[in-house]
Amino acid sequence: MLTSLTYYAEDYPPSVFYEGEVLRGISVRMLRAIWQELGVKAQPIEIVPWARGYKEIISKPKTVLFAMSKTAQRADKFKWVGPIYSVDYILIAKKAKYSNPSGYQSYIVIQLR
């Protein structure tokens, strides 16, 4: 079954990236470990822009996109494996330009001096 799937990923270090000609990254290692554990030979992984990979999994059966953030809007649309890792995103700006970060009250704001 895993050999009948088409695998897509985007170039997104440290999750997926090329080192020379070799595809590497946290998500690539995890997927290869799953294949090895299940006795499945390594499958081709197609590197595409994220929007194209997302379009492929929405429109075509038997497709896989990794790694993708699990959001409330996507949670029920797909079968999920993971999490592989978690990420926190931050905004950084010069203090002088954004000294009063109004509009960001629901977020944790840290000002560095």
Tell me the CA distances in angstroms from 43 to 1, 18, 23, 112, one per residue in order.
12, 16, 12, 46
Instruction: Dump pLDDT digits (tens) for 4-35.
Output: 899 999 999 999 999 999 999 999 999 999 99
The DSSP-derived string for 1-55 is -GGG-EEEE--BTTTBEEETTEEESHHHHHHHHHHHHHTPPP--EEE--HHHHHH
The per-residue pLDDT string of the chain (113 residues; one tens digit each, 9 = 90 and over) reads 667 899 999 999 999 999 999 999 999 999 999 999 999 999 999 999 999 999 999 999 999 998 888 888 999 999 988 888 787 777 666 666 655 656 665 665 555 54
